[in-house]
Structure formats: structure tokens, C-alpha cells
Structure 1
Amino acid sequence: MKRLDWYLQINLKARHLRLLMAIDTYRNLTQVAEVTHVTVPAVSKSLAELERGLGLALFSRTTRGLMPTPYGECLIRHARTMLGILHQVRDELKALSSGAEGKVRIGMLPASASVLVPQALGFLKQQSPGTNVTVIEGTTESLLPDLWQGRLDLVVGRLPPPDTLGSFEEKELLEEPVVLMTGRDHPLAQRKTLEWSDLCDYPWILPPPGSILRDPLERALEANDVPLSNNYIETLSIHVVRAHLQVSDFIAVMAESLGNDPVQPFHKLPLSLPRLLRPTGVLWNRNRGLTPSAQLMVSCLQAAAESLLMDLAATPSPTRAKRPRPAAGAS
């Protein structure tokens, strides 16, 4: 153990971490040599030195190529995290040396944050033009691992159940109900009164299986005796939802603010869903904390949520049953 401690603290270098990542990706020393622009003997020698220094076998040779041992899997997993931190340090140092004010990397759940995030970015650029932003759309399942490993600073969207948060810190931003939406020319949009049974003959645009909304939506429909037909589309793309509702008889579930689009207006069906989701909010890794740029972005997200509430309150909407409100604890 003393040898292992000494090697990790004194001799382990970033080049070792990059070598591990390359071998894990290609599982072949020849390919690793090609992408790293060194010779195969040099790659083999570096791997042997790393294994000898640690006193552990990191890879085993199989018919499928080099496969990581449990020791290798452990080190590779942490190598991803450490290289992510080094890249973050590099970006911040480059920003400081170039006169920029920093960089923040945001994961966005598009179905719930496609209105909030653009407005927050506008506030950010007004306050700090030199703070640059990378925005990546994805699902909770794809974004949270990147947040945990340090490849993202923030994730914005519907907050997951509290028991899934682990080491994540959260800030609630906006409590907004989800509603049933159709296009303006949908047959049900002409009806003054509506029963749940009236939905049974129409196809659906659904969130994909595994997304935050899918299971609670299915339970709500089942409770009202509305079976899902075999005619449906699954997507998290709000652009696809908006476009398809305009030209079809599909029904979709979305945040109410997304339906109040003056360019592409929709019709909200007068049927009340229970509270299916937690508020929209922002998550970060409490073990890493927030950079100054990320802190500024969080304050801009909060300002955007407050602005969105005021805009919705000022917009007349005969189909709105109730307005969104600030999430509990949001100032």
C-alpha cells in the first residue's frame, strides 16, 4: 500500500491518465499508437511502467483486445473525472489570460428548460459578455453522470426525485404545471366541455420511456381510464412537438409556458392533471462547488424564472386554468 500511495501521489501524471483513456477506447495498442502519434513499443513501455509503478495489472490481453481488469476499471473511471477537472482548470486559466471572465458548461433538459435557459443566457451576456457558455441538451440519465464527473457545471430542467440526487445540490426555480395541449385546429379544441373518455380516440406525443415525465403521465392517464394507443411518437424535442401539433390531431403534455407561443399558439385542453413533476430547477455537484461563472449563471437563471412569471401573468390566455408560481424557496 505504501508503494501504491507513493506512486499515486508522486509519479502519476496526466499523460498516464490519457493513455488509460486511449487504451480503454481502442483496446488495441496499434490504434492507440496511431492516435497518440507514438510507436507501439513506446505505448507498451508506458503501460508496463504504469502497471509496475502501481504494482497492479490494469489490462488483460484477450481475443477481443486489451480488456481492463477491476483495477483498470477503477483507475479509468477516476481518470475521466481527473481529466475533466484539468480541462476545467485549463478553460478558466485561458479565459483569465485572454481577458474573458470564465466559462460555464450547462446540461439542459429541453422539454422543461427550453424557454428558461435562453432567457437566462440573455441576462448573463448583458452582465458579463466575456463569460462563455456551452449548452448540451440531453436526458436526466445522460446529463447527471456528466455533472457528477465534472464535464458539466450545471444541469437545468425538471428536478429529479430527491432520492436520486446523491451528491447533487439543487435550487428550485419555477413551479409550473404540465398540461394537455393540442393544435388550434384539433377537433377537441372546438369543444367547450370535455371528458377524459374523449381523449381515447386520438394519438399521443409522449416523453420517451425512462424520462422523468413518462411514468407519472401513464399513471395519471390510467387513473382516468385513458389507454395509450399504439399510435404515438416519443420525443423530448419541443421543436418536434410544436411542429407536429400544428399539422396533426395528436395530443401532447408540456409545460404551460411552452403553449403560450404567439407564433405557434396551441390549445390547452380543460382537463386537470395532478402534480406529475417536481419544479424546474438547477443542479450542481456539491462536492465540487460552483465557479464564479457558474454562480453568476445560477443567479441569471433565477432572474429569468422571475421574468418568465411576470410575462406569463401579463399575457391573456383564456385557456389558462392557473399560472405558474415561483418554486418554494426561490427568492
Structure 2
Amino acid sequence: MSEFDWYLQINLKARHLRLLVTIDTYRNLTQVADVTHVTVPAVSKSLAELERGLGLTLFSRTARGLVPTPYGDCLIRHARSMLTILHQARDDLKALSSGTEGKVYIGMLPASASVLLPQALSFLKERSPGTNVMVTEGTTASLLPELWQGRLDLVVGRLPPPTDTHGSFEEKELLEEPVALMTGHHHPLARKKTLDWSDLRSYPWILPPPGSILRDPLERVLEAHDVPLTNNYIETLSIHVARAQLQVSDFIAVLAGIAPNDTTQPLYTLPLSLPRLLRPAGVLWNRIRGLSPSAQLMVACLEEAAQRLSTGSTTTPRGIKPAAKAKAKRPQ
């Protein structure tokens, strides 16, 4: 074993990882000393020992403070991942010692998991009341980096194109949710006996935000039918905001997996055929890290919820059907 390998495998400690991340955050030894409650010479000595042990320069001393070298950038990136894993191990051990059974960190794509995930969480709590969950809403762009870095165990919602995941994640398809053009029942287009795409041109839209999975394919479909988007629109991923706005305005929205005949906020589905704009709803996890027992149980509950929703065993939005066999699938 080389001296470099020995230092990494035997002598590198959690305090070194925390030091690296803290220096990268503040880039100033005085601030690092303040937040770590030690002296500046002590911080400088610890960094020098780490660089000497590795035989690498991790930070350059500049007029702008400490700037990571390429070696520093590499080690800092791994240090953040390792500290995340240690924090999760701490949480799991605390949970076990307090009588609970673990914790699952889930990222939720709200526009496509608002029915599936709550049902799955109900099944989880029925099976294992001591397994706790933290749910974070966000977009694919914000949640996938968190999943890759280990701060999330699962991401639930509309599966992104495989080209967006670069083969980094395992995925399981769960539900096919049709996409439809919807309005409120009072909308002028809801009273027309026949409808053409050109009839949509003068109305405002509720759109998914730029960068969301549905936005680009929606714009391509509208362009193909010569329906330009007006300057009068609202951008949101919130189904609740979209539903409420459709009840009080002449907006048109594109929604997936929504029950048009909901008794509280009934919607009208415009009779215009859309191609398959999106992949099924499903669940993603980090291929390298795998799944903890609690996360495996959550995936099983998601599968059960998808099956129940598709067969109508629970309150089921009309038109939802299961993804084919819901097989685990490796993105290419």
C-alpha cells in the first residue's frame, strides 16, 4: 500500500472532511476558525497536515482567499457525499435507538405525484408506523442532483427522459397518467359542440415552468397546430393553483392524471387529442448507493399504491392506468 493509499484509507477522518467543506464554504481562515471555535493557527495547521499527508495542494492562497485546486475540488465533492452518508447513518441509528425503524428522504415532483405519493405514504404508515419520511417538493432539475449526492433516497413523479439521467439512476415505472387540455365548466370552449385547435388561440394559458418535463413537448405540440402561446399566462407546477384558477377564469391548462369530474373542483376536458407527451409516473433512486430497507419498503408501497389506483381499489382519478408491469428498468 502506497503512502497516499494508506493516508486515505487509514488516517483520513471525519474531522478532515468537515474541515474541507467548511473551508470551501467560507474561503477564509478567520471565518473558518470562528465557526469551528478554534484558532486560526489551528485551522492552518490542520489543513497543512492534511495536504502533507496526501502529498497534494488542496487550496491556493490568493487575494480572494483560499481557492480549491483541482485536487481540492475533487476531494471536497467526495467529502460532501461522505458527510451526507454519515449524517444519514446518524439519523438511522438515532431512529433505531428511539424505537423507530428508519427514515426515508423523498423528492416529489408535485404535478405528477400528488395522488400516488399520499396513497403510498398511507400504506407505509399502516405497515411500519415507525418508519418516518421527509418529503421535499421540487423540479427534476433541483431534485436529481440531491438524489445523486445522497441527500434524497427516492424521487417520485413523472420519469424524466433517459437522456436527462445519464444512466446514473435506477427507475421503476408505476402509472400511466394521460395528459389533457382542461378548462373550467363555465369556459366558452366547454360549450362548443365541435372544437378545432385554432379555437384555442385567443385564450390565456396555465403553463408548467420552463425547464419542467412537460413544457418543451407542450410547446412543440402547440406549434405543430399553429397555436402560439399568448403573453397572457401563469406558470406553476401546483395542481391546486391550476384547479382554482380554472374555476374563476377562461384559462386553459395542460394537466396529467387529473380527475375532471372531481366534485369539489370539476373540470372540463377539451376534446382535442394529444400525443403521448410524457413518460409514466415512477420512482428513481441512485444506482450506486442502492436502497436502505426503509427505502425498499417505500418502493413496495409505491407499487401497491399504483396497482390500487389503476384498479380503482382506492379513490382513483378516472383515466389513470398502470405502467406496463411496473418493471424496474435501467436507463440506457
TM-score (norm 2): 0.93
Change (3 A) 1:270 1:76: same
Matched residue, 2:330: none
CA distance in 1, matches of 2:313, 2:301: 18
Deviation at 1:260, TM superposition (A): 4.6
Which structure 2 residues correspond to residues 89-238 of structure 1 after superposition, within 5 A?
89-165=89-165, 166-238=167-239
The worse-fitting range, judged by mean Cα deviation, of 44-53 and 196-205 is 44-53
Amino acid at match of 1:139: T
8 A contact 1:58–1:72 mirrored in 2: yes
8 A contact 1:110–1:237 mirrored in 2: yes
8 A contact 1:115–1:258 mirrored in 2: no
Could you tell me which runs of 5 or more consecutive residues in structure 1 were left unpaired when the two chains were aligned. none
Deviation at 1:259, TM superposition (A): 4.1
The SS at the match of 1:257 is coil
Deviation string 1:30-53 (CA, Å, 9 cap, x unpaired) is 222222222222212111111111
The SS at the match of 2:324 is coil
Deviation string 1:194-248 (CA, Å, 9 cap, x unpaired) is 1111110011111122211111111111111111111112222223222222222
CA distance in 2, matches of 1:260, 1:243: 14
The SS at the match of 1:288 is coil
Deviation at 1:18, TM superposition (A): 1.0
Of residues 315, 319, 325, the one that matches 1:329 is 325
Matched residue, 1:32: 32
Amino acid at match of 2:321: R
CA distance in 2, matches of 1:55, 1:105: 37
% identical equivalent positions? 79
Deviation at 1:181, TM superposition (A): 1.3
Amino acid at match of 2:77: R
Deviation at 1:64, TM superposition (A): 2.5
CA distance in 2, matches of 1:263, 1:27: 54
Deviation at 1:267, TM superposition (A): 1.4
Amino acid at match of 1:272: S
Change (3 A) 1:262 1:41: farther
The SS at the match of 1:329 is helix
Change (3 A) 1:239 1:314: closer
Change (3 A) 1:184 1:62: farther
Deviation at 1:27, TM superposition (A): 1.3
Change (3 A) 1:192 1:36: farther
CA RMSD of aligned residues (A): 1.9
CA distance in 1, matches of 2:60, 2:314: 63
Matched residue, 1:7: 7
Could you tell me which runs of 5 or more consecutive residues in structure 2 were left unpaired when the two chains were aligned. 328-332
CA distance in 2, matches of 1:37, 1:259: 58
Query: Would you say how many aligned residue pairs link Structure 1 and Structure 2?
Result: 326
The SS at the match of 1:42 is helix
Amino acid at match of 1:326: P
TM-score (norm 1): 0.93
Matched residue, 1:292: 293
The worse-fitting range, judged by mean Cα deviation, of 252-261 and 62-71 is 252-261
CA distance in 2, matches of 1:313, 1:270: 27
Change (3 A) 1:274 1:212: same
Deviation at 1:307, TM superposition (A): 2.1
Amino acid at match of 1:195: D
